[in-house]
Amino acid sequence: MTLRLARLCLAACFLAIAVRLPAQAPARPALRAANDLIDYNIQGVDVDAVLQNLEDFTGRAVIRPQALPPATYTLRLRANKSDLVIALESLLEANMVAVIPLGDKYLKVVPLQLARTEAPEFIEGTTLGLPPSDRVVTKLFQFKFLREAEFFKQRPVRGR
């Protein structure tokens, strides 16, 4: 009788623990998508597939012209989402396609030769904290130790 009572108490304790365990278990912190590593592998795809991936990873719509330089794209890496976006932008620019941010919602894609005529991203302040990339940007420098006239001074042309 004592053994049966002990088994019954033990079973009741396990049941109580099993019922209470999910409520008492500490919540696991949600992993941020930017820190999750993504296995990315494309081989021999066209520019449309790369631009679709860029839209998916940035959450921005891509505005593109009718014709972009034809190329096949191959990229294989394991990186977090922000590094993957930089790699995709660099891959496009290595194939003569420039990616220009337009606000928070859009990315404009143009042939690299036309990137200077567009309004590239303007960077204020220091660039030391930014990751290296192949993006076309605008930065305004203010001279501290050199006058503009000295910098733009005409040099004599030799040979005339």
pLDDT tens per residue across span 59-74: 999 998 888 888 999 9
What one-letter code names the amino acid at 105?
A: K
- Closest Cα to residue 87, out of 59, 44, 95, 137? 95
Q: What is the DSSP letter of 131?
A: P
CATH class for the region spanning 38-139: alpha beta
Cα 106 from chain centroid (whole Å): 14
Q: Can you tell me the mean pLDDT for 144-151?
A: 75
Per-residue pLDDT, averaged over 74-82, amounts to 91
Average the pLDDT over each of 43-57, 78-92, 142-156 and give the range with the smallest value.
Answer: 142-156
112 vs 60, residue with greater confidence: 60
CB 54 within 8 A of CB 89: yes
At residue 52, does pLDDT exceed 90? yes
Using N-to-C axis directions, what is the helix angle for 81-94 and 47-58, rounded to 10°? 150
Q: Please say whether the beta carbons of 51 and 62 come within 8 A.
A: yes
CA 36/CA 43 separation, integer angstroms: 22
More confident residue, 16 or 112: 112
How many percent of the chain have pLDDT more than 90? 27
Task: Give the separation between CA 15 and CA 64, rounded to whole angstroms.
Answer: 61
- Segment 123-149 shows an average pLDDT of 76
Using pLDDT thresholds of 50, 70 and 90, give the confidence band for residue 141.
confident
The answer to whether the beta carbons of residues 135 and 143 sit under 8 Å apart is no
The confidence score (pLDDT) of residue 159 equals: 60
CA 92, 97, 98, 101 torsion-angle sign: negative
In this prediction the pTM is 0.56
